[in-house]
Structure 1
Amino acid sequence: MNNNYIQPDNWSIIEEGFDAKQVKSSESLMSLGNGAMGQRANFEEHYSGDTFQGSYVAGVYYPDKTRVGWWKNGYPEYFAKVLNAPNWIGINVSINGEQLDLAKCNKIENFRRELNMKEGWLSRSFIATLQNFIEVKVETKRFLSLNIDEIGAIEYNVTPLNNDTQIDFSPYLDNGITNEDSNWDDKFWDVLSVNHENEQAFIVSKTMKTHFYVCTSMQTQVSLNGLVLRQDKTVNDAIDKIAFTYQNQVSKGETITLTKFGGYISDRNHDKNELVSEAKKTLNKVSELGFDALLEKQKQAWAKIWDMADITIEGDVAAQQGIRFNIFHLNQTYLGTDARLNIGPKGFTGEKYGGSTYWDTEAYCIPFYMATKDQSVAKSLLEYRYHHLEKAIENAEKLGFSNGAALYPMVTMNGEECHNEWEITFEEIHRNGAIAFAIYNYHRYTGDYSYIPEKGLEVLIGIARFWHQRANFSEAKKKYVILGVTGPNEYENNVNNNWYTNYIAKWCIDYALSNIEKIEKEYNSDYTRIMHKAKLSKSELSQWKDVADQMYFPFDDEKNVYLQQDGFLDKELITVSDLPKSQRPINQKWSWDRILRSPYIKQADILQGFYLFEDHFSSEELERHFDFYEPYTVHESSLSPCVHSIQAAKLDRMEQAYAFYLRTSRLDLDDYNHEVEEGLHITSMAGTWMSIVEGFGGMRIVNDKLSFEPKIPEQWEAYSFKVNFRNQILKVDVAKNETAFELEGNQDIEILVKGKSISISPNNLVTV
C-alpha cells in the first residue's frame, strides 16, 4: 500500500498525524459533494504549504481554448473545464496577531482528520503551538447538505490552552480563483457585484463565454462557550473578495466558535436577476434551523441512501472500507435529481479530464444507479444522451459523415465534442457502442421497453448509421473493416480492426435492426413517426445488415484467440511479470513511442467485449482469452481491474478476483497510480460495486429473471447487498456455506440460483 497513512475503519476515512506531503492526497480522498456542488477537503484557515484549492458547481463550465501546436480540420475548438468556483469556506484565524497556518506552526500535535461516510461530514482537530508560543486546540466540522443542496455548513472551534488571548475570525468569500489546469491562464469569472447585509455577504459573478451567473454567499455567527455573541465586525471588501472580521478576547480554556453557512445559487435553477434574494432566503432558512439540526437532517439523508446502497463485508476491514468509500463518492457526485447533469470521471474532487461526461457513465455507472436507486435515475442518464443527439449528428458531420450519422463525443458538457487529443477524440469511437449498450442494458434490467420507441430508437439509428459509414469493404479480406481506431486500450493508437470496436459496431447495427422490426410490429404510430423523421428506407437497412453480417474480426488459428487488432502478434510479447518493477507505471516511465510498440494493455480491451457480451461466448473461450491477454495488462486505467475481477470470479479464480477487487476498491485510498492528489476516479468506483454484485454475487439477468452464482473470497466471513429489480428490493446475504435472499416488495419473485429456479415471497427469508 502506498497511502498507508489512511487508518483502517469500516465507516470512516481517518488520517492521524500531520504530514505536509499528504495534504493534497487527503484533499482528494476527503472531498465533499451533494450532487449539486462539491469541494476538495481544503483547510478553512490559511495554509501556505502545497495545496490544491478546489470548489465546483455542477453544470457550470468554461470552454478553455484548445492548445495545440497546429490545427486540423474537425478539431474541437475548446476543452470544456469544470470551473474552480469562488471559495466560500475560507476563515482566516489570527491568534494574538499571528495568522494560524499549519505550514508555519512551531508544533502540531494530535492532528486528526475524519471523513465520516455513514453520516456525510468531515472533521478535523489538532493542537498547534504558534511562533508566538500561544497553544490552541482547533476542532472543525463541515458538510454539504443533501437536503438543501445549495448550502454547506462549517463549525470552527478554537480553545486557547496556555494563555488568555485575542482570537480574530475573518470569514470570507473569494472570487479571485483560477483553475489549476487552464490552457491560457484565461480569466474564467467576471465579478458583477460584491455586497453584504447584516451577517450575510454575497458575490455575484458570471463565467466568461458560457455566461453562467452564480451568487456565492455566506452567513456567519460567533459563539463563546455555546452562547451567541452579538458584536460589531469590520468589513473588508475588494473587487473580488469580501471578509468580515470578529475580534474577541478569549480566556484560557474557553472555546470560541465561528459557524458559517455558505454555498452557491446559480441561474441554472433561478432567475439570474434574483440570485441574491434567493441566496438570502436559503441562508435565512438554514440559520433558523441551525448547524446541529441541519446536521441531523444530513445524517438521516445518508441513512436513507445507505439503507439501499450499502454493501457489508464481514472479516475484512480493508475491503469494507474500500467499497463504502466508492459508494459514498458515487452518491456525493450524482444523485439522479437533475437530469441535465451527468457523472464526471473526477466528480467534484479535481479538474483533470475537464469534469465532463465520458463513456464511463454508460459502461460502468448505469448498472450501479439502476440497482441502488430506481429506474427513473437510470432513465435520466439515457435521456441525457437523447437530448444531445442533434449535437452528436453535428459532431459526425464535422468529420464528413452524413445522413444523420451520429458520433457521440468522447468528452462533453453540452453534447459537443470538447476533447483535444486526436488519437482519442476521433479514434476512440467505441464510445458510441457503450451508449447503445446502455439502452439495451436498461431494458434488460428494468423490463421497461417504453424508452426505446419514445426516444431510444432515434439514438440507435444515428449510431447504426455512423457504423455503416465508418466501415469500408476490403477487397483483400472480402469483409468490412474499420480502420484507424483506438480501442478501450489507449496504449494502442490508430490501429486497424480493433476487435472490440468491430464487435460492438456489428452488435449496434444488429440491435438497431431488431428494434426497428419490433417497433414496426408493436408500436406502429412510433414506427411511422421515427421512419418519417429519420428518412429511413428499407434499402438503407439492408446496407446496414450487409455491413454487420460481413464484419471482419482478426483471429489467430494457432493460438485460437481473437486478436486485439491486426498485427498484435507482430509485437515482442514480453509479459508484465517479466517487466522490472522500476519500469512501472509505464505511462510515467516510458516514452509514448515505446508504449505504442509494446504489447502492454492499459485496460481491458477484448475482455471488455467478453464482459458486455458474456452470453455470446462460452466459459472456455473466456478462459482462453483471459489467459492470453491478462498477462500483458498493466491495469494503468482505473476501468481495468473491475472487469478482470468479475471475469476471474466467473472462472472460479477467487484469489485473482479478490486481488483485482482490492485494487479497484482501494485504487485511490492506496494511490496505486501515484496520482490521487489530482482527484479521485469516480466512474471506476461503479465498477467496484459491479465486482462484488456481478463478480462475487454472480448477478446476471437470464430469461428476464435475476440470476445469481454466489461465491465468497476466503478472506471474508460474509457479505451482503441489496438490488432494486423492477421496483422490488431483494437483499442478498452470502456466507461461506449458504446464501440467504429476502424480498421487500408486494409480490413473489422468481430468481435463479446456480441455474435452479427459486420462488421468494415478500418478507420471507429463503436460504440456499
Structure 2
Amino acid sequence: MNQDYIKPNNWSILEEGFDAERVESSESLFSIGNGAMGQRANFEEYYSGSTFQGSYIAGVYYPDKTKVGWWKNGYPEYFAKVLNAPNWIGINVFINGEALDLATCKEVKNFRRELNMKEGWYERSFTAVMLNELEVSVKVIRFLSLKRNELGVINYEVEVINSDATIVFEPYLDSGITNEDANWEEKFWKTLEVKTNEDKGFITAKTLKTEFHATAFMQSGLYRNGSKQNVEASEVSFDEKVIFRYTTEAKKGEKIALHKFAGYVTDMNHKRDQLVQAATSVLDAAVDAGFENLLNEQKEAWASIWETADIAIQGDVKAQQGIRFNIFQLNQTYLGEDARLNIGPKGFTGEKYGGSTYWDTEAYCIPFYMATKNQSVARNLLTYRYNHLNKAIENAEKLGFSNGAALYPMVTMNGEESHNEWEITFEEIHRNGAMVVAIKRYVDYTGDFSYIPEKGLEVMIAIARFWQQRANYSTKRDKYVILGVTGPNEYENNVNNNWYTNYLAKWCIDYCMESLEKVKSDYASDYERLMAKTALSAEELAEWKEVSEKMYFPYSEEYKLFLQQDNFLDKEIIPVSELPKSQRPINQKWSWDRILRSCYIKQADVLQGFYFFEDQFSKEELEKHFDFYEPLTIHESSLSPCVHSIQAAALGRMEQAYEFYLRTSRLDLDDYNNEVKEGCHITSMAGTWMSIVEGFGGMRVLNGTLSFNPQIPEGWESFSFKLNFRNQILKINVAPGKTSFSLEGDKPLEILVKGKPVKVEPSVPVTV
C-alpha cells in the first residue's frame, strides 16, 4: 500500500489537508461522470501547480498515429484515444485584483474534499491566506447530471473573512486544450466557432480526422447570501476561449456565489447545424430549474441506482468504502443506455489505455451490469461486439486469415484494432474467447437463448474459424498447437501453447458446435439464414472437431498440473514472498528482459481458465493449481486480485480471500501500484463486485438455478447485496451462521443454498 490519506467513510471519499504532491492522485480519485461525459477533479480556479487536466466525452475519440521505431505488416495505423475535450469548468477568481491560486497562497487551511457517492456530487472547501493578506473561505459543489446527461453544474462560493473586497469571477470555456498522452504534441481539436448570446457562451469545435463536432456551452449567475444578483457581465472572446467577467463588491463575511451551468452537446445526438440551438435548450431548462432542484434530481437519480446496485457491509468501514467506490465509478462510466458506448479501463478518470474497449468488458463487466441493472444492458454490451463483427473479420484478414474468421481487437473504438504494442496486439489473442464466454454467461444468467440465433452465433462461428486456422498440426505431437502468443499474464511474451489460450480455443469451438445443434433443432429458420450467410459446411465442421479433439495442453507429470505454457518449468521458480519489497512493482523497477525471464505472473493465467470453466475441474485440481501459481503471482494487473479472491473463497480460505478483496476494492484508494494519478482502474472494479457476490456469496447459476455457498470474512457483522435475476430482485443478507433471502417479484423462486433446494416466496423472507 502506497498511500493512506483517504479517510475511511461508508458513503464518501474524503481528503483533509492540502498537499500539492497529492493533487494529481486526487484528481483521479474524485473524478465524476454520468455515462455520457466525465472529468477529473481539477480545480475550477487557476492552479499553477502540477495538474493533469481531463474532461472527456463518451464515444468521441481520435486516431493518433502509431509511434513505433519500425513498421511491420498488419500493424495498426493508429492508436485510438479518448480526447481531452474543451474545458468548461474553468472559473478564474480575483480578490482585490489578485488571482486565487492555491499553489502561491501564503497558507491553505481547512482544505477538504468530499465525493459523496450516495448522492452523486463532489465538494471542495478551504480557507486561503492570499499574498495580499486577504483571508478567503471557498466552498465549491460540482456534479454531472444523470437525468440531463449533457449538463454539468457548479456552485462556487467565496467569503472574504477579514475585509471588504472586490471579487471578480471569470467563468470561461477553452478549446485550446491538449492531451496529456499526445504522441506528437499536436492538438486534436479545431475550433470552428466562438459565440456568445447575452449571458450564454458557446464554443463549437471538431476533432481532426474523426470529425466529431461538439459544442461546449455555459451560462452563469451571481448570488449574494443566496439571493440572485442582477450583475451585468463584461465579455472577452478569443480564438479558442470565451470569458464572462462578473465584478461585485463584497462586505466582510458576505457569501458571494457563482452558479455555472455548462456541458457538451455533440453530433452523436444532434444535427451539426443545430448544436448551439440544442445547447441553448439545455441551458434554458437548467437555469429554469435552478441549482437546488438540479441537485435534488441528482440525489434521486443516484438513490434509484443504489436501490439495486448497493452492497452493504456491516463492521468494516474500509471494505465498505472500497466496494461502494467501485460500484459508484462503474455507474459514472457506463449506464447501459447507448449500445454505441462501452467501458474504458480508465473510464473518465484519465487517458491511459486510450479510453477504448478491451476484453475487460466481456470478462469482468457484463456480470455486474447484468445483475445490478437488467438483461437489456448486458444485451447492449453484447450487441456492441456484434455490430463490430465485420471489422473483426477485417482485422483477421489483415493478418492473413480467411473465410470469415474474426479476430476481435485488443483495443478499439469502432471495431478496428488500434493497439500499438506488437506482443499484445497480435499475440494476446485470448481476448477472442472472452467474447464467447460473455455470450454463454448472458444465456446462463438470463435464460435468454434467443440472443444466440439472432446475433451471437454469427460471432461464435467467426471466432471458431479463427481458432481452427490459428492452431497448427504438430506431426511430432500428433496434436494441434497454438504458437507465438501472450496469455493474460503479460509478463510472458511470444510463448508456445499458453494453456489458457489453448483451452479457450477448444472450448469456443465446442460451445459453437453445441449451439449450432440447438439452433438447428429449435430455430430452423434462423439456422437456414445463418448457414446461407456464413456458408458453413460439414467439411469445415469436421476440421473444427479435429482441432478441438486433438488440442495440446502442456502438462507436468512431475507436479501433476497444467503448465502455463511450454517450458514454464525451465524458469527459476522463486516465490514472490522471497522478492524484496524494494524490487516491487517489478514493472517499474526491472528491465523488460528480466521480467520476461522471471517466473513472475502479472495476473491470473491458468487460474483465469479455472475461474471461467470451474465446472470442468474438481476442487482438488483447483487447489493444486492455486497452490502452485498463486505464490508466483505478483498481481501487478488490476484484473488479478479479484479472480484469486473468488478462488480462495471457493477453497474455503476466507482470510486469503479477504486480503485479495481488500486489494482489489482499494486498489486505487490506497494506490497499491503507485499509478493512480494516471486514472482509476474502472473495469477491474466489476471484479471487486464479483469478489463479494461470487466469492463471499458463492453465487453461481447451475442449470438455470441460482445457487449460493455463502461465507463471511472474520470481523464482519453482515453483508448484503441484490441480484436482478430474470426480472425478479433477490436480496441476500449473509451474517455469521445464517443467510436470509427476500424476493421482490410476482412468483416464487427456487434457489440452491449449499447444494440444497430452498423456495423463496415474494415478500416472505427466508433464513437458512
The one-character-per-residue Cα deviations of 1:470-497 (angstroms, maximum 9, x if unpaired) are 0000011110000000000000000000
Q: Is the 8 A contact 2:741 2:765 kept in 1?
A: yes
Q: CA deviation at 1:227?
A: 1.4
Q: What's 2:50 paired with?
A: 50
Q: Any idea what SS the aligned residue of 1:166 has?
A: strand
Alignment of 1:171 with 2:171, yes or no, is yes
CA separation in 2, counterparts of 1:557 and 1:732?
43
Q: Any idea what SS the aligned residue of 2:764 has?
A: coil
**What are the within-5 Å matches in structure 2 for residues 48-127 of structure 1?**
48-127=48-127
The one-character-per-residue Cα deviations of 1:286-342 (angstroms, maximum 9, x if unpaired) are 110001000000000000000100000000000000000000000000000111000
Q: CA deviation at 1:517?
A: 1.0
Q: What's 1:194 paired with?
A: 194
**What are the within-5 Å matches in structure 2 for residues 580-659 of structure 1?**
580-659=580-659
The one-character-per-residue Cα deviations of 1:589-609 (angstroms, maximum 9, x if unpaired) are 000000000000000000000
Q: What's 1:543 paired with?
A: 543
The one-character-per-residue Cα deviations of 1:131-164 (angstroms, maximum 9, x if unpaired) are 0000010001010000000000000000000000
Amino acid at match of 1:283: L
Q: What's 1:700 paired with?
A: 700
Q: Any idea what SS the aligned residue of 2:488 has?
A: coil
Q: Is the 8 A contact 2:444 2:703 kept in 1?
A: no
CA separation in 1, counterparts of 2:733 and 2:723?
12
Q: What's 2:321 paired with?
A: 321
Q: What's 1:394 paired with?
A: 394
Q: Any idea what SS the aligned residue of 2:94 has?
A: strand
CA separation in 1, counterparts of 2:735 and 2:81?
46
Q: Any idea what SS the aligned residue of 2:48 has?
A: coil
**What are the within-5 Å matches in structure 2 for residues 484-503 of structure 1?**
484-503=484-503
Q: Any idea what SS the aligned residue of 1:290 has?
A: helix
Q: What's 2:571 paired with?
A: 571
CA separation in 2, counterparts of 1:751 and 1:479?
42
Q: Any idea what SS the aligned residue of 1:366 has?
A: helix
Q: What's 2:364 paired with?
A: 364
Q: What's 2:418 paired with?
A: 418
Amino acid at match of 1:61: Y
Amino acid at match of 2:394: E
Q: Any idea what SS the aligned residue of 2:737 has?
A: coil
CA separation in 2, counterparts of 1:187 and 1:660?
41
CA separation in 1, counterparts of 2:421 and 2:703?
42
Q: CA deviation at 1:198?
A: 1.4
CA separation in 2, counterparts of 1:657 and 1:226?
51
Alignment of 1:251 with 2:251, yes or no, is yes
Amino acid at match of 2:263: G
Q: Is the 8 A contact 2:24 2:677 kept in 1?
A: yes
Q: Any idea what SS the aligned residue of 1:7 has?
A: coil
Q: Any idea what SS the aligned residue of 2:201 has?
A: strand
**What are the within-5 Å matches in structure 2 for residues 141-152 of structure 1?**
141-152=141-152
Superposition TM-score, scaled by structure 1 size = 1.00
**What are the within-5 Å matches in structure 2 for residues 456-495 of structure 1?**
456-495=456-495
Amino acid at match of 1:755: G
Amino acid at match of 1:385: R
Q: CA deviation at 1:558?
A: 1.1
Q: Any idea what SS the aligned residue of 2:258 has?
A: strand
CA separation in 1, counterparts of 2:334 and 2:733?
27
Q: CA deviation at 1:233?
A: 1.6
Q: Any idea what SS the aligned residue of 1:390 has?
A: helix
CA separation in 2, counterparts of 1:568 and 1:576?
16
Amino acid at match of 1:581: K
Alignment of 1:437 with 2:440, yes or no, is no
Q: Any idea what SS the aligned residue of 2:526 has?
A: helix
Q: What's 2:730 paired with?
A: 730
Amino acid at match of 2:201: A
Alignment of 1:741 with 2:735, yes or no, is no
Q: What's 1:690 paired with?
A: 690
Q: What's 1:296 paired with?
A: 296
Q: How large is the RMSD of aligned CA atoms in angstroms?
A: 0.5
Q: What's 2:407 paired with?
A: 407
CA separation in 2, counterparts of 1:651 and 1:561?
17
Q: What's 2:528 paired with?
A: 528
CA separation in 2, counterparts of 1:464 and 1:708?
33
Q: CA deviation at 1:226?
A: 1.3
The one-character-per-residue Cα deviations of 1:165-208 (angstroms, maximum 9, x if unpaired) are 00000000000100000111222001110011111100000000
Query: Percentage identity across aligned positions?
Result: 70
Q: Which moved more, 1:227-236 or 1:323-332?
A: 227-236
The one-character-per-residue Cα deviations of 1:26-59 (angstroms, maximum 9, x if unpaired) are 0000000000000000000000000000000000
Q: Which moved more, 1:165-174 or 1:220-229?
A: 220-229
CA separation in 1, counterparts of 2:136 and 2:187?
39
Q: Is the 8 A contact 2:179 2:187 kept in 1?
A: no
Alignment of 1:272 with 2:272, yes or no, is yes
Q: CA deviation at 1:715?
A: 2.3
Amino acid at match of 2:675: E
The one-character-per-residue Cα deviations of 1:549-592 (angstroms, maximum 9, x if unpaired) are 10000000110010000000000011101111111000000000
CA separation in 1, counterparts of 2:691 and 2:121?
27
CA separation in 1, counterparts of 2:187 and 2:152?
26
Q: What's 1:8 paired with?
A: 8
Q: CA deviation at 1:704?
A: 1.1
Q: Any idea what SS the aligned residue of 1:660 has?
A: helix
CA separation in 1, counterparts of 2:52 and 2:184?
19
Amino acid at match of 2:388: H
CA separation in 2, counterparts of 1:231 and 1:636?
54
Amino acid at match of 2:304: K
Amino acid at match of 1:343: I
Q: Any idea what SS the aligned residue of 2:758 has?
A: strand
The one-character-per-residue Cα deviations of 1:436-469 (angstroms, maximum 9, x if unpaired) are 1100000000000111000100000000000000
Instruction: Show structure 2 runs of 5+ residues with no match.
Output: none
Amino acid at match of 2:625: H
Q: CA deviation at 1:278?
A: 0.3
CA separation in 2, counterparts of 1:738 and 1:417?
49
Q: Which runs of 4+ in 1 moved over 4 A?
A: none
Q: Which moved more, 1:517-526 or 1:211-220?
A: 517-526
CA separation in 2, counterparts of 1:419 and 1:703?
38
CA separation in 1, counterparts of 2:23 and 2:542?
60
Superposition TM-score, scaled by structure 2 size = 1.00
CA separation in 2, counterparts of 1:30 and 1:160?
27
Q: Any idea what SS the aligned residue of 1:672 has?
A: coil
Q: CA deviation at 1:3?
A: 2.0
Q: Any idea what SS the aligned residue of 1:6 has?
A: coil
The one-character-per-residue Cα deviations of 1:711-735 (angstroms, maximum 9, x if unpaired) are 0000211000000000011000000
The one-character-per-residue Cα deviations of 1:261-297 (angstroms, maximum 9, x if unpaired) are 0000000000011000000000000110001000000
The one-character-per-residue Cα deviations of 1:38-94 (angstroms, maximum 9, x if unpaired) are 000000000000000000000000000000010000000000010000000000000
Q: What's 2:308 paired with?
A: 308
Q: What's 1:134 paired with?
A: 134
CA separation in 2, counterparts of 1:581 and 1:686?
28
CA separation in 2, counterparts of 1:748 and 1:306?
24
Q: CA deviation at 1:2?
A: 2.3
CA separation in 1, counterparts of 2:152 and 2:12?
20
